[in-house]
Amino acid sequence: MSEKHKEVWCESLRFLNAMLVRSPNEKKRAQLMARLNVLGLTVMLKNMVRVKDPGIIKQLQNLQMNTRQVFPTMQYEVEIHRKKVKQLELHN
């Protein structure tokens, strides 16, 4: 993946995360993700497993937290779970 493509992916993921955060409710968030999945978003994200760009990795982590799902092939799956555990500990 070229540097130009990395920048585009990072900004696209940042935009998607912003849309998810600003969704009025869980139903709307689920509808948005369902429509994007029909377009093949999940397949594209699974193909990004080997990307080492920290900006993209951070946005993928945010996407997984915002959608409350973990992409099983992602190399940082454990980190996502660790962050969720920390959040839960802080709320108790």
Residue-wise pLDDT tens digits, 10-56: 999 999 999 999 999 989 988 998 999 899 987 888 777 678 888 88
Tally of domains within the chain: 1
* pTM to 2 decimal places: 0.71
Q: Is pLDDT of 75 > 60?
A: no
**Contact in structure between 66 and 20 (CB atoms under 8 Å):** yes
User: What local confidence, expressed as pLDDT, does residue 72 receive?
Assistant: 63
Q: Which long-range contacts (CB under 8 A, 24 or more apart) does 20-28 make?
A: 20/63, 20/66, 20/67, 21/66
Number of other CB atoms surrounding residue 36 within 10 Å? 16
* Residue range of the domain that includes 49: 3-91
User: What local confidence, expressed as pLDDT, does residue 77 receive?
Assistant: 63
Q: Distance (Å, rounded) from C-alpha 1 to C-alpha 29?
A: 29
